[in-house]
Structure 1
């Protein structure tokens, strides 16, 4: 067999497989959305730290001198830097932020 003929047969087979796979994929029903974002929204609605951080964000520049905002920001830093910590328990007990 001629190598050009073999290349053409291979190309035709490849295109046929690609068209078949595309047709199969287009005929599938769309998958329902996953519950990932809803679970994150539910967690953020019950997390006291996130509620406090949103309050601090809403008061603007006054949050820089608010002791509760300073404590929330310190706790947020600890949560970010030490993922094994229990931040919800520490912010609820009213502990003062520690400056490093």
Structure 2
């Protein structure tokens, strides 16, 4: 047998095996589909923090100056990082322009929290 015919025979055998394997897998898959059904109801309860974070994201840049948003973001960071306690940002910690008062740490990158 020459090389060309041998290569063709190998390709036909490979395709036949691929089709057979696919058919067997499709026949088995019918019983396993129920295991991948996603429940239609929520397994978590609605969270007040989620609603507040959504509100803050909807108000855009004003959220950076809103004391309630700053508090919500601080709580979200605390939960994400698994910290036990957090010093909440009080409305008095912000200046009338919305900037964090000196000595307060806002958790933003580049901020050291030290008075200059």
TM-score category of the 2 structures, normalised to the smaller one: 0.5 to 0.7
Q: How many pairs does the alignment contain?
A: 88
Cα separation, partners in 2 of 1:77 and 1:55, compared to 1, 3 Å:
same
Please give the alpha-carbon distance, in whole angstroms, between the structure 2 residues aligned to 1:72 and 1:6.
69
Q: Normalized per residue, which structure has more helix? A: 1
Contact 1:64 1:70 (C-alpha < 8 Å) held by counterparts: yes
Please give the alpha-carbon distance, in whole angstroms, between the structure 2 residues aligned to 1:75 and 1:26.
48
Please give the alpha-carbon distance, in whole angstroms, between the structure 2 residues aligned to 1:70 and 1:9.
69
Higher relative contact order (CA 8 A, sep 6+): 1
1:42 aligns with 2:34: no
Structure-to-structure mapping, 1:20-59, within 5 angstroms:
20-27=20-27, 28-29=29-30, 31-32=33-34, 33=36, 35=38, 41-43=42-44, 45-46=46-47, 48-57=48-57
Cα separation, partners in 2 of 1:21 and 1:5, compared to 1, 3 Å:
same
User: What TM-score results when the alignment is normalised by the length of structure 1?
Assistant: 0.55
Cα separation, partners in 2 of 1:66 and 1:37, compared to 1, 3 Å:
farther
1:3 aligns with 2:8: no
Displacement of 1:37 in angstroms is: 9.0
Pairwise CA RMSD: 3.5
Displacement of 1:72 in angstroms is: 0.5
Higher Rg of the two aligned structures: 2
Gaps of 5+ in 2: 90-104, 107-112
Please give the alpha-carbon distance, in whole angstroms, between the structure 2 residues aligned to 1:24 and 1:36.
28
1:84 corresponds to which of 79, 82, 85: 82
